[in-house]
Amino acid sequence: MTTDEFHDAVDRAARSASEGSAALRRLARVLRIRCAECGAAWIDPLERWRAYRTDDPAEVVLFCPGCAEHEFGSCED
């Protein structure tokens, strides 16, 4: 999936907010979002994951809540 396709999919899901979390669940299945640390799949649209940009290579990596807190600490810090 290209970056443009990803952004289009996210935009479509956001516009479908009136459908509730069903649109986000479909998006998660299509994108196969996984935690960069443990490999867990994002399947619960209410679960808040964190994204971090890396420099080498320049990309965005996603972390499930448990791994994000373990690697980077609480987001309230």
Domain of residue 27 covers: 1-32
pLDDT of the residue at 44: 82
Chunked in runs of 10, what are the mean pLDDT values of the chain (77 residues)?
69 62 69 89 86 89 94 80
pLDDT of the residue at 32: 78
Q: Are residues 26 and 5 in the same domain?
A: yes
Identity at 28, one-letter amino acid code: A
Q: Are residues 4 and 25 in the same domain?
A: yes
pLDDT of the residue at 68: 95
pLDDT of the residue at 42: 86
Q: Are residues 16 and 46 in the same domain?
A: no
Q: With b meaning 16 or more CB within 10 Å and e meaning fewer, what string describes 27-49?
A: bbeebeeebbeeebebeebeeeb
